[in-house]
């Protein structure tokens, strides 16, 4: 076990040293023994205004202990807090304040590739900005719903209910289809598995979805509200197709396009339209933060994590 651990550490050093064109002695010592990380944490809100009295928890990793040193700070009126600590590679930041969603981030000095000098990681006095998103109106949107659902229906369009987080009956306990999904798979697993595909569409021309960037470091990564000016997509495709090399028996991945982990999918569905004006008089808004699929002995496995606003025509998507 000890030899295995040393081998892993040695491999880490080699990969770390490749980050610099010419790793010097200070850099090698910083990785092996640790070096001081000197930084200023600057906390702002989503309007880039400083947030004072925010609690900042700073954890320095250690090459010698299971967990490194932890320091707790409070930002001043300018939203800043300065700290120095010893680390072998990285610093983890966790920032909180009442009335805001917590944020977290990591500073990896090795990955930055600036090296070390005189017992300090470079650059000295690094400034790191952390954004705290304010809690605005979390009562409007429904609770987060997620869970693995299975289906043995292949080659048929299945309706999925975002409010219940399930397929529509008889496949599940859902009642209204916010979108439809089609699975294609030959039912083979193991060495005989040759791939599968998934297609997603919305049931009518007024329903659809649009993507927005996630705020990756925040506990609330999605959108506060549905942007009415966004162009909507009516069909969304997700593929995961694998073929086996018949000569070697090895799998070769031909194509893969899964749900983008850096994006949130905002959805408009359950649209009721005035037959004369052709305008929407009633609809619901949701956001999907994660979507995954796969296949197993129980059939197709489908995972959707979403926030559904149960109030008609309310674009608010901030979860309670």
pLDDT at residue 148 is higher than 90: no
**71 and 148 together in one domain:** no
Distance of CA 61 to the CA centre of its chain: 23
pLDDT of residue 166: 94
How many structural domains does the chain have? 2
**169 and 95 together in one domain:** no
In this prediction, residues 35-63 reach a mean pLDDT of 94
Domain presence at residue 315: no
**CATH number of residue 58's parent domain:** 2.60.130.10
Tokens matching residue 148: 């693995």
Which range, of 61-65, 121-125, 184-188, averages the lowest pLDDT?
61-65
Q: What is the pLDDT of residues 233-269, one digit of tens each?
A: 998 877 777 776 667 767 666 667 778 889 999 999 9
Which alpha helices (DSSP H) does the chain contain, by range? 2-17, 25-33, 109-112
**167 and 302 together in one domain:** yes
Strands 90-96 and 103-108 come out as antiparallel
**6 and 73 together in one domain:** yes
Pairs from 62-70 (Cβ < 8 Å, separation ≥ 24):
62/34, 62/86, 62/87, 62/88, 63/31, 63/32, 63/33, 63/34, 63/88, 63/89, 64/34
pLDDT at residue 31 is higher than 70: yes
What's the predicted TM-score (pTM) here? 0.83
Q: Which of 90, 114, 134 is the last residue of a domain?
A: 134
- Rounded percentage of the chain residues whose pLDDT exceeds 90: 66
Domain hosting 51: range is 2-134
C-alpha pair distances (Å), 244 with each of 127, 192, 295, 296 = 49, 9, 17, 18
Q: What's the CA gap between 182 and 201, in Å, rounded?
A: 9
Residue 184, CB-side half-sphere exposure with 13 Å CA sphere = 12
pLDDT at residue 50 is higher than 60: yes
When the pLDDT of each residue in the chain is averaged and rounded to a whole number, the result is: 88
pLDDT at residue 278 is higher than 60: yes
pLDDT of residue 9: 42
Q: Which of 111, 134, 157 is the last residue of a domain?
A: 134
pLDDT of residue 259: 84
Domain presence at residue 139: no
Q: Which of 134, 167, 187 is the last residue of a domain?
A: 134
pLDDT of residue 11: 42
Q: What's the CA gap between 225 and 136, in Å, rounded?
A: 11
C-alpha pair distances (Å), 16 with each of 3, 20, 21, 172, 300 = 20, 8, 11, 49, 41
Which range, of 86-100, 150-164, 187-201, 306-320, averages the lowest pLDDT?
187-201
């Amino acid at each position: 076990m000890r030899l295995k651990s040393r081998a892993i550490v040695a491999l880490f050093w080699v990969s770390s040293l490749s980050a610099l064109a010419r790793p010097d002695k200070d850099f090698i010592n910083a990785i092996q023994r640790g070096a001081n990380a000197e930084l200023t944490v600057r906390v702002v809100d989503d309007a880039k205004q400083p947030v004072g009295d925010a609690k900042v928890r700073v954890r320095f990793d250690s090459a010698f202990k299971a967990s490194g040193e932890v320091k707790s700070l409070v930002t001043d009126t300018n939203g800043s807090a300065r700290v120095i600590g010893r680390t072998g590679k990285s610093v983890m930041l966790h920032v909180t304040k009442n009335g805001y969603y917590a944020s977290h981030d990591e500073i990896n000095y090795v990955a930055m590739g600036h090296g070390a000098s005189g017992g300090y990681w470079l650059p000295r006095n690094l400034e790191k900005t952390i954004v705290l998103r304010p809690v605005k109106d979390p009562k409007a949107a429904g609770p987060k719903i997620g869970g693995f659902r299975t289906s043995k229906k292949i080659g048929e369009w299945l309706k999925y209910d975002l409010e219940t987080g399930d397929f529509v009956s008889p496949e599940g306990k859902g009642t209204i289809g916010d979108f439809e999904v089609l699975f294609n798979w030959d039912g083979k697993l193991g060495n005989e598995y040759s791939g599968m595909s998934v297609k997603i569409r919305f049931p009518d021309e007024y329903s659809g979805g649009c993507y927005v960037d996630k705020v990756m470091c925040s506990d609330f990564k999605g959108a506060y509200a549905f942007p009415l000016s966004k162009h909507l997509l009516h069909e969304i495709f997700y593929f995961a197709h694998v073929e086996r090399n018949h000569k070697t028996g090895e799998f070769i991945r031909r194509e893969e396009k899964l749900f983008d982990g850096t994006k949130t999918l905002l959805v408009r569905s359950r649209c009721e339209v005035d037959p004369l004006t052709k305008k929407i008089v009633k609809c619901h808004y949701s956001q999907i933060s994660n979507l995954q699929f796969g296949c197993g002995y129980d059939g197709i496995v489908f995972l959707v994590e979403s926030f559904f606003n149960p109030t008609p025509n309310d674009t608010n998507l901030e979860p309670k």
